Structure 1
Amino acid sequence: MQPAEKDDASRIPPNEEDEAREMERLGRERPKVFKTKWAEFGFCFAVVMSQFITEYFVSGFTVIIPVLAKQLDIPAPAIVWPASAFSLVVSTTLLPLGRLGDMYGGYPLYICGCIWFGVWSLIAGFAQNELMLDFCRAMQGLGPAALLPAAVLLLGSTYRPGPRKNIVFSTMGAMAPLGFFAGIFFAGVSGQYTTWRWYFFIGTILIGVVTIVAVLCIPSDIAERKAMGVKMDWLGSITIFSGLILVVFAITAASHAPDGWRTSYILVTIIAGGLILATAVYVEGWIAEQPLLPADVFHVKHMKPLVIALLFSFGSLGIYLLYATLYMTEVMNGSPMKLVAWYVPVGPGAVAVAILSGYVLHVVPGTFVLIFAGVTWFIAPLLFALAPIGANYWAWAFPAMVCATLAIDTTINITTIFISTTMPRHRQGMAGALVNSIMQLGIALALGVADVVVTGTSHQGTAKMYKNAFWLEVGCAGLALVILAGFVKIGKAKSQTPIDEVAAGT
C-alpha cells in the first residue's frame, strides 16, 4: 500500500480538465462511509422512506374520513380538524426540529422521529372519539417534522454534488407519490373490507420496519454535529412556531367559524399571529446569535423568487391532493377500491420519473426542469376544472394524474438538490426544514383558502364547488409558472466541489 502523501499527490489534478474529471468521479462513487453496497442500500432505504410514510398518512386519511366520521360520530364541520391537525403541526415545527438535527445529528433526530411517529400512529388506531383522534393526529405530526429535515441532512451531508446524489434525492422524491398511492390503497382496503383502524396499524408496521433499518444502517453523526457548535435559537423558535400556528389555524378555521372571517376568535388569532411573525422577523434579523432562518439563506441567487414560486406550486399540490380525491369520490362516484385503481398511474409514474431524473439532472438545466414541472402543475387542475359531468376517466382524470405525478416528483427533486447543494454542511438540517416548511405551509395555506372558496360556493352544487377549488389551483399554478419562467435560473446539478470545501479552499 502506498503512503498517504504519495496517494494525495497523485490525485492533484494538473489542469482544469483533469480537475473536472476528478469531480465527476467523486460525484459518482460510493461514499467512503459505506463499506459495501448493501450498507448504502440500507441507509438510502431507511432515509428515503421518510417521504413515503409521511405521504401515506396524508393521502389515505382523506379516503377513510367518511367511514371514520360515521363510526366516531364526528359532525361534518369538525372533520376538518383531524385532517388539518397533522399538516398544521408538521408545517410549524419543521424549522426548530431541523435546528436540533444540525445541533445533535441527523441520526438521533431520525430515530426519535420514527419512534414518536410510530407510537402515535398506533394510538390513533385505537381512537374512541373525535378529541382523541384530533390529539393523536397532532402528535403524529411531530414525527414527520423530525424525519423530513433529518433525511435531507443525512443525504446532503453524505453525498457530494453529482449524479449519485441526484439519483438518491430523486428516489426520495419518488417516495412522495408512491407513499400517497400506498395511503390511498391501504385506506381503501381497510375502509371497504376490514376497519379504518387497520389503516393506522399498517402505517405503524411500515414505520416499525423503517425504524429497525434506520437503527442498523444509518451511521451516527452525533460527535461530528456537536463539534460544529450550532446553537438553538429559542426565541426565534417560539415566535416562528406561535405565529405560524395562529395564522394557519385562522385561515383553516375561518370558513367553518360562525361568522366566517368576522368571528372574533378568527380575527384575534390572525392578528396576533401576524404580530408575532413580525416579531420573529425582527428577532431573526437583529437579535438572534444563530438565527433559525438566517437572512443570508435568501442571498443565494434566485432563492427569493424560487421560494415564492414553490409556495404557490405546493399550494397547488395541497388543493389537488384533497379535491381530486373528493371529486372522484363524490362526483365521479368512485368507491374506495375504484379510487385505488384510478390512482394506479401515480406508482409507476413516480418510479419512471425518479429513474429519469437521476440520469438527466446533471445534463439538463434546472430551470428547464422547473418550467416543465410548472406546466404540468397547470394542466392537472385545468383538466378537472374543464371536465364535463360524467367525464370519462381516461380522457380527463388519467392525464391529470400523469401530470400531477410529473409535477410533484420533478419539483421536489430539483428544489431539494438545489437548496441542499447551496447550503454548507452545518446547515443541512435547516435546508431540509426549509424545503419541507415551504411545502407544508403552501399546502396548509392553500387548503385554507380553497376551503373558504368551496364553503362559500356550496350552494352551487357539489361538482361546481369542487371545480371552483380547481380554478383556484389553476391560478396558483399559473402564477408559480410565471415566476419560475421569468425570475428563476438554476443550472445543471452536475458534479462539483461541496460548498464547505470551496469555503475552506480545499
Structure 2
Amino acid sequence: MTTSDTSADIPHGNLTTVEPGVSRHLKSKIFGWKLWNKHNTQAVGTKVQTPKPPAAVESNVGMPIPDGQHQPAQAELLSERDIERLGRERPAVFKNAWTEIAFVFSISMSQVLAEYFISGFNVVLPSLVKELNITESSAVWPASAFSLVVAATLLIFGRIADMIGGYPVYVFGMAWLFAWSVVAGFSKNRLMLIFCRTLQGIGPAAYLPSSMMLLAKVYRPGPRKNMVFSIYGTCAVVGFFIGIFCSGVSAQFLSWGWYFWIGAILAAITAVSSFLTIPSDTAEARKQGIKMDYMGAALIVPGLTLTVFALTDSAHAPDGWRTPYVYVCFIIGSILLGLAVYVEGWVAKSPLLPFDIFDAPYMKPLVVSLLFFYGCLGVYLLYGTLYMVNIMGASPMQVVAWCVPMVVGGFIFPILCALFLHIISGTVLLIISGIGWVGTGVLFAVMPEGASYWAFAFPSMIGATLGIDITFNITNIFITTSQPAKRQGLAGAVINSVLHLSIAFLLGLADIAQVHTAHRGKLESYRVVFWFQVGCAVASLLIMVFFVRVNAAKSEMTADERQQLMQVEQSDSQGSSVNQEK
C-alpha cells in the first residue's frame, strides 16, 4: 500500500471500526482502508500509524498511559493485520512481562477484596450477632450497609475517575478500605459495626469503576484484553472463596476481628503495589475537562439509599410495609429518583449518568438482563449458604469445602472463555450462562431434606460458577469496548452499579418472600426463595435469547477510533457537497 500525506483529510485522534453506512468516499476491504480522492481517479492509500510509545522506564509510577490505546496524538488507518497484532501484543506502557503482571495483580485484587468483604461477612455474621448482642432483625444491616454504600456512590466515583484519572482514585479506595477494615475489627457494639461497614463501602465504590477504567484504557479490543478481563473476573470467585475461608477460620478458631484484619492486610498490600505499578492517567483525564454533576449526585445517592433501605428493612419492620418509616423512606426515595431521571435527562449539562451511554446496540436489553442475572448471584450466595448451614447442617469450614467447586470452576471457565471469546459468539455463551443460572436455582429448590451434597449442591455450584464467570467477563468486555476513553470510568461505574443494585434489590425481594413464608418452616421458605431465583434467571435468559446480540470479541478498533472515522467521512461528504455546488 502506498503512502501519501493525508493530514488535511484525517484529523488527529484515533480511528475505529466502521459503522453501517459510514462510508461513501471511504471504501473498505475488511479493515484495510483507502481514502479515495473524488477529484483524482487514483486511490490515495493511507496506512494508519499510532504514535511511538514513550521510552520504557524502570517503574510505572507516574508514567502516563500512552495515548496509543485510545487517543493517539496522530491517527493513521489500520490494516486488518495491524489491528490483530495490536489486539494481541503487550501494551507499550509496560516495559516487560513482569510490569504487566504486577499491574494485572494490582487491578485484579479489587475483585478479590470486594467479594471478600461481601461473601465472607455472611459466614462470620453469626459470631458477630452473638458477641455484640445483635438482634436477628438488626443483623441485616451490618451485612447490607456495605453493599448499599457501594451501589449508591459508584456513579459519583466513576465521574471523579473520569475527571482526575483512575490511578489516584484507585489508590485512594484501597487505602480507605485498609483504614476502616482495621477499625471495624475493634467494633464494640452494633452501631460501631454498622458505621465501619458503611465507611468501608466507600473504598470499593472508588476502586471498582477505576479498575475497570484502567483495564479498558490500557488494553485494546482483542484476545489479550479478553484474557486480562477473564483473569479479572476469575478473581471475584477467588475473593469469594478467600472471604468465606478466612471468615470460617476466624469464627471457628480465632476471633471475628481477624476477618477484618486479614482483609486490611490484603488491602494494604494492594494499595502499595497499586501505587508502584499502575501507570498514571491523571494528565490525560484532566485534558478532557469533565465536570461533576452535583445536582444529579444530590438526588441519586439519597434516592437509592432510601429506596433500598425501605425495601430491605420492610421484611423485618414491626408492621412490614405498613410501618411508617418504611413507606415514608420508600416514597421519598422514589420521588428523588424520579427527579434524578428528569435532571439527568433534561437539566444537567454534564449528567452523572448520560442516557446516551445506553445507545450502543443491545445495551438496554443487556442491562435489564444483567439486573436479573446478578440478582440471582446475590440470592444464591446468601440463601445457598443459609441452606447448607441450617438445612444440611454444615459447619463454617464445611461450607468452605463445599464451595471449592466454585473456585475451581472460577479458574477454568474464564480461561477457556478467554481462549474462545474471539471465535464464539458472545450471545451463545451468555445463553449457556443463563441455563447455568436456571439450573442452579432449580437444584436447590427441589433438593429433598437429607439429600446428598454430590447429587444436588455440587452440580449447583458448577452451574453458579458457569453463570457468573461467563456473564461477568463477556458483558464487561462488551460494555467497556462500546464506550470511548473519556467514559471508561462511567462504564465501570455502570457495570458495578448494575451488579450491586441488582443484588440489593433482589435480595430485598427474596428476603420478603422468605419472611412471609417462614410459617411453613425454614425448608419450605428457602424453597420459595430459590423458585424466585429461578423466575429471575428465566426472565434474564429470555431477554438474552430474543433481544441481545453480542458478537465474538475479536481484535477491532476502539470506540474513539470508530467515532473519528465517522467524523472523517462526514467531513469528506461535506467537502464533496461544497465542490458540487461550485
Q: Aligned AA for 2:316?
A: H
Where 2:315 maps in the other structure, the secondary structure is helix
Match of 1:9 in 2: none
2:406 to 323, 346, 353: 346
Aligned match for 1:322, one of 365, 369, 382: 382
* Match 1:434 to one of 494, 515, 519: 494
* Aligned position for 2:133: 73
Aligned 1:283-302 pairs, distance under 5 A: 283-302=343-362
Alpha-carbon distance between aligned partners in 2 of 1:78 and 1:319, rounded to the nearest angstrom: 19
Deviation at 1:298, TM superposition (A): 1.3
| CA displacement 1:444-486 (0-9 Å, x = unmatched) | 0011011111111111111111111111101111110111111
- The whole-number CA distance in structure 1 between the counterparts of 2:30 and 2:368 is 37
Measured after TM superposition, the shift of residue 258 of structure 1 is: 1.0
Matched, 1:305 2:365: yes
Counterpart AA for 1:450:
A
Gaps of 5+ in 1: 6-11
Q: Distance in 2 between matches of 1:351 and 1:492?
A: 21
Q: Give, in angstroms, the shift of residue 164 of structure 1.
A: 0.4
Deviations 1:224-275 (A, max 9, x none): 1000111111111111111111110100010111110111111111111111
Aligned-residue sequence identity (percent) comes to: 52
Match of 1:401 in 2: 461
Cα displacement (A) at 1:23:
0.8
Distance in 2 (CA, whole Å) between partners of 1:374 and 1:154 is 29
The one-letter code matched in structure 2 to 1:152 is: M
Asked if 1:212 is matched to 2:280, the reply is no
Matches within 5 A, 1:179-258: 179-258=239-318
Correspondence list, 1:99-498, <5 A: 99-498=159-558
Give, as a single letter, the amino acid of the residue that structure 2 aligns with 1:384: F
In 2, Cα distance between the equivalents of 1:283 and 1:44? 38
- Please report how far the alpha carbon of residue 364 of structure 1 lies from its aligned counterpart in structure 2 after TM superposition: 0.8
Residue among 21, 36, 50 paired with 2:96: 36
- Tell me the distance in 2 between the aligned counterparts of 1:90 and 1:421: 24
- Counterparts in 2 of 1:440 and 1:459: CA distance versus 1, 3 Å: same
Q: 2:121 aligns with which of 58, 61, 86?
A: 61
Cα distance in 1 for residues equivalent to 2:209 and 2:485 = 13
Question: Which amino acid in the other structure matches residue 183 of structure 1?
Answer: G
Structure with higher helix content: 1
Provide TM-score, normalisation by structure 2: 0.84
Post-superposition shift, 1:15? Answer: 5.5
Which residue number corresponds to residue 39 of structure 2? none
Q: How many Å separate the matches in 2 of 1:238 and 1:40? A: 39
Q: Secondary structure at the match of 1:255?
A: coil
Shift >4 Å, 4+ stretches = 12-15
Cα deviation code 1:18-68 (max 9, x no counterpart): 622211100000111111111111111100110111000101111111111
Q: CA RMSD in A?
A: 1.4
Shift of 1:307: 0.7
Shift of 1:503: 1.7
In the aligned structure 2, how far is the partner of 1:16 from the partner of 1:489?
Answer: 21
- Deviations 1:352-395 (CA, angstroms, capped at 9, x unpaired): 01211111111111111111111101110110000000010000
Name the CA distance, whole Å, in 1 between partners of 2:101 and 2:29: 35
Distance 1:112 1:131 in 2: 25
> 5+ unaligned residues in a row in structure 2: which ranges?
6-14, 16-26, 33-78, 569-582
Q: Which amino acid aligns with 2:236?
A: A
Inter-partner Cα distance in structure 2 for 1:114 and 1:149: 13
Q: Distance in 2 between matches of 1:267 and 1:134?
A: 22
Partner SS, residue 362 of structure 1:
coil
Give the Cα separation in 2 of the matches to 1:16 and 1:278.
Answer: 45
Shift of the 14–477 alpha-carbon distance from structure 1 to 2, 3 Å rule, reads closer
| Distance (Å, rounded) in 2 between the aligned partners of 1:39 and 1:100 | 26
Q: Distance in 1 between matches of 2:31 and 2:86?
A: 14
Please say which of residues 492-501 and 12-21 is displaced more in the overlay. Answer: 12-21
Distance 1:210 1:231 in 2: 29
The one-letter amino acid of 2:391's match is: V
| Amino acid of the structure 1 residue aligned with 2:83 | M
Q: Which amino acid aligns with 2:176?
A: W
2:246 aligned partner, one-letter code: F
By how many angstroms is 1:14 displaced? 10
| Structure 1 position 320, deviation (Å) | 0.3
- SS of the counterpart of 2:318? coil
1:17 shift after superposition: 6.6
TM superposition shift of 1:504: 2.3
Output the TM-score relative to the length of structure 1: 0.96
Offset, 1:502: 2.1
- Distance in 1 of aligned mates of 2:130 and 2:452: 30
Alignment-mate amino acid for residue 285 of structure 1:
G
1:85-96 → structure 2 map (5 Å cutoff): 85-96=145-156
Q: Please say which structure displays the higher CA radius of gyration.
A: 2
Deviations 1:194-213 (A, max 9, x none): 11111111111111111111
In structure 1, how many angstroms separate the alpha carbons of the residues matched to 2:224 and 2:91?
A: 10
Alpha-carbon offset, residue 16 of structure 1: 3.8
